[in-house]
Copies of this chain bind each other. A is one copy, B any other.
Amino acid sequence: MENKEDMLEPGMSIATSVAPTAAAHVQLRPLDAGGAVIRTGLLAERQRTNREVTLLHGSEQLEHAGTIQNFRIAAGRETGERRGMVFSDSDVYKWLEAVAWELERQPSAKLERMARELIAVVAAAQEPDGYLNTWCQIVDPSWRWTDLEMGHELYCAGHLIQAGVAFARATGETTLLHVAQRFADLLHQVFGDDADLRTDGHPEIELALVELYRQTGRRRYLELAQMLVARRGQGLFKGGRFQLDYYQDSVPVASTQTIVGHAVRALYLAAGVTDLYAETGAEPLLASALRQWNDLTASKTYLTGGIGSRHFDESIGDPFELPPDRAYCETCAAIASIMWNWRMLLVTGESRFADLLERTLYNGFLAGMSLDGRSFSYTNPLQSRTGKLRHHWDPVACCPPNVMRLLASLHHYLATADGSGIQLHQYAGSRIATALPAAGPIELSIETEYPWQGAVAVEVLAPGDSEWTLSLRIPGWSRRATIDGAAVAPGTYAHLTRRWRRGDRVLLDLDIAPRLTVPNPRIDALRGCVALERGPIVYCVEQCDQSPGADLSDVATDAAGTPVDSGFLEDLGGVPAVTLAGTVSRQEGWAGLEYRDVETAHQPCSTAPAQLRAVPYFTWANRDKGAMRVWIPAPQAQADARHDSAARDTDTSATERGPHDGDH
């Protein structure tokens, strides 16, 4: 307990995944541990599966893959060769972080025992000087600090720190935190002055160090994070395996105009930069984060919230390069995006960040795990011609335990508080409890079938003893919304300031009806297509749900059509199905041909009506292996867009706007 002076007092309430200091530059503050509990509905079910199935599956797989054994070998408790990827230590740390948040949610003697045993092994593997990395310790001690570009040494340290902080916050148990702190102190010695001016090729350490500062109060960790961020963008990784953009190393963070490179690296870095802004108030960091976010959402984000267009280097592609079939959309990138958007929300208080967090959560993220909680996907494309098989584990196992830690901490993302009240960002059957500075203890009960139904009932269980404001996010996707029957504007927060009484109820009603979505005309890969959404849920068509003969290669729909609810799919956990009228065309004239002269291409094909049955995207690949698509061809959509513009050209007189620019 050598750092006891830095520790918070036991029993002192503290926020959870992200815990801004009292002086932090944030608009909103996370609730304290235990302040939110998800009780019913989809998210509760996912948390329960994670606790009861996935965490145990994960532990087995980490043993099976040798990932835990590596620590035993490094600790001298066992002998053998190291197994797994260079960064596999982080898989163990992420699993531990997941267990920590599970123990915050609810005690479990079994999970606590498993974690305690594992933490003891991790602690035993630590070198006397604080170093801890089983690759270096088992495979090659001379490797230390020699491959920052691809070695993931500080990345693994970051996940160790996050796990240590999580245990301290969730359970008060600080063994792992002290292991993390000793390693962080070593990092500060090595990288914290002018001796070694490098940083890690894979960001993650930055946000972890900020959190360690928040947890311990030791400024050295914050300062190290600042230094590491400031070093980036100067060509440190020149001559490396990839281009500088891959490492976010071509432009200093403060000057960055766009978000580029390896998606997970870019997003963890952006989250760390946002944390750094929160604790330092350095405006250039916030401005950079905002520019990157705007760039990301203007041209580089999939409808599912997924990020990353390229398999080759796992990178964010060029603007508008968003192929649905070759989408990379790594599950870890969705998780990193959720982490970043939460931080942006805290810093700005703006609902657009909660909107994107929601989109990513219910689509790009939830798709990363099978419904049974035992298999995972690394990439999450929006179209598959051949179907795909999820894997129970993978040699690159970064995603599964990352899914586990986010599912275990989902309740952290529901609500915040500030001096004047409580903000509800994500809706689930839940309890929210906090204490406001003026009004004192508040408790709310939220009853809802969200995301399947648009009605959200908020009941005040403990009203506080003075006026305060209840803020409700009205998602941007909702065509219309009401609170207690009165219209409110989507895409922002509705604020209800009252002297609340016990038993007061507020009924938010969102328009959950299925709707069609069209892509920006610049997204070439989606030209002439529409997607189907229902509330926050992106839908897809899977081959196994279609009529015989309705090959998903040949279906189309009408952008003017109206999708309708059509029952529930029991084999997918009772989720609502949506049906969309369409057609299936047999292109006999095209058999064996890829391209045709337009003069002869208009040969007849046989077209028949088809009812296209759609399911939530996140439930795909849980039944038959077969084709899937989110974006459905809608021939008239493209022509309509053109027609509209032509009409405008005709209707608009010269007095309304100037003549066309240019010389054409």
Q: Which residues of B contact A146 (CB under 8 A)?
A: none
Assembled-state Cα–Cα distance A601/B52 (Å): 44
Flag whether A525 is at the interface (Cβ < 8 A).
Answer: yes
Residue of chain B at shortest CB distance from A311: B312
Query: Of A4-12, A162-170, A193-201, A643-651, which binds chain B?
Result: A643-651
Q: A320-B553, A607-B648 are in contact. Are A594 and B523 (CB under 8 A)?
A: yes
Of residues 98 through 125 on chain A, the ones whose CB sits less than 8 Å from some CB of chain B are: none
Residue of chain B at shortest CB distance from A608: B660
A348 CB to nearest chain B CB (Å): 16
**Interface band, chain A:** 35 or more
Query: Of A64-72, A291-299, A492-500, which binds chain B?
Result: A291-299
Flag whether A389 is at the interface (Cβ < 8 A).
Answer: no
Query: Of A181-189, A369-377, A514-522, which binds chain B?
Result: A514-522
Q: Could you tell me if A642 and B610 are in contact, using CB atoms closer than 8 angstroms? A: no
Mask of A621-660 contacts with B, CB within 8 angstroms, 1/0: 0000000000001011111111011111100100001001
Q: Among the listed B528, B592, B598, which residue makes an inter-chain contact with A559, where contact means beta carbons less than 8 Å apart? A: B598
Assembled-state Cα–Cα distance A660/B520 (Å): 35
Mask of A582-594 contacts with B, CB within 8 angstroms, 1/0: 0111010011111
Flag whether A13 is at the interface (Cβ < 8 A).
Answer: no
Flag whether A231 is at the interface (Cβ < 8 A).
Answer: no
Mask of A606-619 contacts with B, CB within 8 angstroms, 1/0: 11111100000000
Q: Which residues of B contact A607 (CB under 8 A)?
A: 642, 645-646, 648-649
Mask of A456-492 contacts with B, CB within 8 angstroms, 1/0: 0000000000000000000001010000000000000
Q: Among the listed B324, B593, B611, which residue makes an inter-chain contact with A298, where contact means beta carbons less than 8 Å apart? A: B593
Flag whether A547 is at the interface (Cβ < 8 A).
Answer: yes
Q: Could you tell me if B519 and A594 are in contact, using CB atoms closer than 8 angstroms? A: yes
Q: Which residues of B contact A571 (CB under 8 A)?
A: none
Residue of chain B at shortest CB distance from A602: B644
Flag whether A529 is at the interface (Cβ < 8 A).
Answer: yes
Flag whether A85 is at the interface (Cβ < 8 A).
Answer: no
Q: Could you tell me if A323 and B326 are in contact, using CB atoms closer than 8 angstroms? A: yes
Q: Could you tell me if A528 and B530 are in contact, using CB atoms closer than 8 angstroms? A: no
Q: Could you tell me if A635 and B644 are in contact, using CB atoms closer than 8 angstroms? A: no
A444 CB to nearest chain B CB (Å): 30
Assembled-state Cα–Cα distance A523/B520 (Å): 20
Of residues 147 through 204 on chain A, the ones whose CB sits less than 8 Å from some CB of chain B are: none
Q: Among the listed B531, B550, B638, which residue makes an inter-chain contact with A595, where contact means beta carbons less than 8 Å apart? A: B531
Q: Which residues of B contact A633 (CB under 8 A)?
A: 521, 524, 527, 638
- From A303, A318, A607, A609, name the one whose CB has the most chain B CB atoms within 10 angstroms: A607
A364 CB to nearest chain B CB (Å): 14
Q: Which residues of B contact A584 (CB under 8 A)?
A: 662, 664
Q: Could you tell me if A297 and B515 are in contact, using CB atoms closer than 8 angstroms? A: no
Q: Could you tell me if A520 and B303 are in contact, using CB atoms closer than 8 angstroms? A: no
Flag whether A425 is at the interface (Cβ < 8 A).
Answer: no
Q: Could you tell me if B527 and A644 are in contact, using CB atoms closer than 8 angstroms? A: no
Flag whether A232 is at the interface (Cβ < 8 A).
Answer: no
Q: Could you tell me if B638 and A601 are in contact, using CB atoms closer than 8 angstroms? A: no
Flag whether A578 is at the interface (Cβ < 8 A).
Answer: no
Q: Could you tell me if B515 and A597 are in contact, using CB atoms closer than 8 angstroms? A: yes
Assembled-state Cα–Cα distance A294/B593 (Å): 10
Q: Could you tell me if A644 and B604 are in contact, using CB atoms closer than 8 angstroms? A: yes
Flag whether A282 is at the interface (Cβ < 8 A).
Answer: no
Q: Could you tell me if B635 and A587 are in contact, using CB atoms closer than 8 angstroms? A: no
Assembled-state Cα–Cα distance A324/B317 (Å): 14
Q: Among the listed B323, B549, B602, which residue makes an inter-chain contact with A525, where contact means beta carbons less than 8 Å apart? A: B323
A514 CB to nearest chain B CB (Å): 11
Q: Which residues of B contact A520 (CB under 8 A)?
A: 587, 590, 593-596
- From A311, A317, A595, name the one whose CB has the most chain B CB atoms within 10 angstroms: A595
Flag whether A128 is at the interface (Cβ < 8 A).
Answer: no
Q: Which residues of B contact A645 (CB under 8 A)?
A: 583, 585, 604-607
Flag whether A540 is at the interface (Cβ < 8 A).
Answer: no
Q: Which residues of B contact A414 (CB under 8 A)?
A: none
Flag whether A383 is at the interface (Cβ < 8 A).
Answer: yes
Q: Which residues of B contact A326 (CB under 8 A)?
A: 310, 317, 321, 323, 326
Assembled-state Cα–Cα distance A648/B585 (Å): 11
Q: Which residues of B contact A547 (CB under 8 A)?
A: 662-664
Q: Which residues of B contact A250 (CB under 8 A)?
A: none
Q: Could you tell me if A517 and B299 are in contact, using CB atoms closer than 8 angstroms? A: no
Assembled-state Cα–Cα distance A301/B523 (Å): 23
Q: Which residues of B contact A294 (CB under 8 A)?
A: 592
Assembled-state Cα–Cα distance A518/B595 (Å): 6
Q: Could you tell me if A303 and B524 are in contact, using CB atoms closer than 8 angstroms? A: no
Q: Which residues of B contact A78 (CB under 8 A)?
A: none
Residue of chain B at shortest CB distance from A551: B522
Q: Among the listed B301, B556, B611, B664, which residue makes an inter-chain contact with A642, where contact means beta carbons less than 8 Å apart? A: B556
Of residues 541 through 575 on chain A, the ones whose CB sits less than 8 Å from some CB of chain B are: 547-550, 553-554, 556, 559
What would be 24 A-B contacts, judged by CB atoms less than 8 Å apart?
Answer: A297-B592, A297-B594, A301-B594, A311-B311, A323-B525, A325-B525, A479-B597, A515-B598, A518-B595, A519-B595, A520-B593, A520-B596, A523-B594, A524-B525, A549-B663, A583-B642, A585-B642, A604-B652, A605-B648, A606-B645, A606-B660, A608-B649, A635-B641, A639-B639
Task: Supply 6 further A-B pairs (C-beta < 8 A) apart from A515-B598, A518-B595, A605-B648.
Answer: A298-B591, A318-B385, A527-B528, A547-B664, A603-B644, A607-B649
The 9 closest A-B pairs by CB, nearest first: A549-B662, A604-B648, A311-B312, A528-B528, A608-B660, A607-B645, A635-B642, A639-B639, A516-B598
Q: Which residues of A contact B (CB under 8 A)?
A: 294, 297-299, 301, 303, 310-312, 317-326, 383, 385-386, 477, 479, 515-525, 527-531, 547-550, 553-554, 556, 559, 583-585, 587, 590-599, 601-611, 633, 635-642, 644-649, 652, 657, 660-664
